[in-house]
Amino acid sequence: MGIDAPLILRNRTGSRPCERALNRCFRRFEAGCYPSNTTRLPRRAARLVAELGLDPDPVFRPRSRVRRAVEVFPHAALVALFGLPKTLKYKAKRGRTVDSRHGEFRKLVRLLESLARRDPRFDVTTAPGWTAIERAVTTESSGASLDRGEDELDAYVCAYISAHLWAHGFDRNRIVGDTETGYIVTPVTPELAACLDGSSRI
């Protein structure tokens, strides 16, 4: 299971080492992550993982039978998986219009649908509700509807990151950080792998 929230969070203030390491390599793609600390964020993700009986250790043999939960970050993953020069601007922020978000959502939908031709193969179009999600994020004018659709699409990205780690292990992914101070799993290109290897890796 891929979760876009801190699974290991012990620092009371500031950011975790994994976030600083990831930001050094992904900031130029506008894919840096916000700082996480116990003052700013609750530990809901860790509680959920514990309740589900999932192991948050991201190290395991590829394609083995495991029950794991790993922390992921969709923006960085999309950059690495699809070679994007910058992140897609589908999230609600000042200066972004409904029309501009529709356009970015269309790009994201096309990218996710292309995963049916990747390894591992992930055909999102067969998922229940996919057509409704696609319609909502590309036609709805309500900000609340777009935000709900955004969360749904991010969930697909998170699921694929965890599948990508399961299928390819360290050959095509990196675990940035550690299980003591926190980590983030991300797919990588060779260039990003070299950058992250020089910053932080289990």
Say whether pLDDT at 202 is over 60: no
The pLDDT of residue 42 is 85
31 within 8 A of 79, measured Cβ to Cβ: yes
Give me the mean pLDDT over the 83-111 stretch. Answer: 97
Mean pLDDT of the chain: 96
**Segment 143-201, tens digit of pLDDT:** 999 999 999 999 999 999 999 999 999 999 999 999 999 999 999 999 999 999 987 54
Cis peptide before 120 (omega within 30 of 0): yes
| Nearest partner of 104 among 119, 92, 88, 93, judged by Cα | 88
How many angstroms separate the CA atoms of 34 and 53, rounded?
Answer: 28
What tokens appear for 143 in the block?
């900000």
How many Cβ atoms sit within 10 Å of the Cβ of residue 103? 15
Exposure string of 35-56, with b = 16+ CB inside 10 Å and e = fewer, is: ebbeeeeebebbeebeeeebeb
Say whether pLDDT at 63 is over 90: yes
β-strand pairing of 2-3 with 173-178: unpaired
Give me the mean pLDDT over the 75-79 stretch. Answer: 98
- Give burial (CB, 10 Å; 0-12/13-18/19+) of 152: middle
